[in-house]
Amino acid sequence: MRIYRLLSAVWSAKSRSLSVALVSQGSFSVVRCLSTSCPWNGRRKGSQYDSVDTEKYSSLVHSVVSSKVSYRTPASLEEEDGQLYGPVVKSKPAAKGTEAKTLKNIVPLLNNAKVLEQQTVEAELPPPMRIALRKAQGRPAAPSVTRILQHSMPLEQAFYLERWRKRMIGELGEEGFKEYTANLFRQGNQFHAALEAILMSTEVPEEAEAPAGGVCGYVQSVQHVLADISGVRAIESAVTHQTLQYVGLVDCVAQYRGKLCVIDWKTSEKPKPLLHNTFDNPLQVAAYIGAINNDDNYGFQVEDGLIVVAYKDGSPAHPHFMDSALCLEYWTKWLFRLEEYLEK
């Protein structure tokens, strides 16, 4: 539109000269004779483009207009980028001090003094062990696995936990939140009591069958998992890692699909279909495995784990099996958390 207006102005100017048509041998050419009074030949106004360094961009312009087919190569493109944007600024090297941490005290998960037993016939097994957790007499009490994990929790995980706590207090109030957590703790105890009764082949306690505030849904949730469990070796039994000096209370040690496992029963109001949804539970299981293997009270070794997440509405529980390689991986992570706790 702008060019059209300029052309119209030129053709309508009084100072425009006439064009002469020359005809030769059946063809013609047009010659335009412009007078010195033509506004195009006059001194034009300055433009912001007058200061452009044309030599700097000459090669770039030439590459664009010289051919319909681009002959650009990676080298020419790099040269053009350098002309347009300047030299490439390389990123700074990683700061020092970010090297991976190393363990100060490497303790193996398995105990060479013990032998990994093969699958045993259930009829040959002794009654499940149940060692009470006792406080130390005359010496400082060893820290529990739960305490160590709580006091070495990563900042991000602690942030989300605190945000959840504040949100729940905002919805329920201080007293309501206390009642809510107490109810969760009570249901957890009832659920474990019901599982103990089932695994010990006794009747389920009446409190576990109570529909109001009971745990029937949780028990129903784990039925398909219980069908794969046999050869129970320990239930609600205390363990002590005699080298690292920490204690814990193991939910269950039994065969799961032919593998001797430390089994940890969990309840949840939300689905946890993946292992990482269970947060620190794999570390807890690995810590218990290491403790059993280094506790003289237990004449066997364990190298696998199982986390079972049960749901109150009775929907099928999610069993998360941890093989020996995965348990070893989480054992290393547990050792880091233990060192962090001891350094505080």
Catalytic residues: 251, 264, 266
Contacts 24+ apart (CB under 8 A), 128-132: 128/199, 128/200, 128/232, 128/233, 128/234, 128/235, 128/237, 129/233, 129/234, 129/235, 129/237, 129/253, 129/297, 129/298, 130/234, 130/235, 130/236, 130/237, 131/234, 131/237, 131/238, 131/239, 131/297, 132/238
Counting DSSP H helices and E strands in the chain, the numbers are 10, 7
Provide the token pair at 295: 């506790």
Contacts of 190 (CB under 8 A, 6+ apart): 205, 207, 208, 214, 215
Residue of 321, 245, 317 whose CA lies nearest to 287: 245
Q: How many C-beta atoms lie closer than 10 Å to residue 236's C-beta?
A: 18
Residue of 246, 230, 235, 232 whose CA lies nearest to 295: 246
Question: 48 — phi, psi (to 5°)?
Answer: -70, -15
CA atoms of 60 and 77, how far apart (whole Å): 10
- Please give the DSSP secondary-structure letter assigned to residue 12: H
Element (H, E) at 318: strand 318-322
Provide the token pair at 329: 């991986």
- Reading phi first (left if > 0) and then psi (alpha if -120 to 50, else beta), residue 202 is in beta
- Reading phi first (left if > 0) and then psi (alpha if -120 to 50, else beta), residue 330 is in alpha
Contacts of 83 (CB under 8 A, 6+ apart): 56, 57, 59, 60
Beta bridge partners of 306: 263, 321
Beta bridge partners of 229: 256
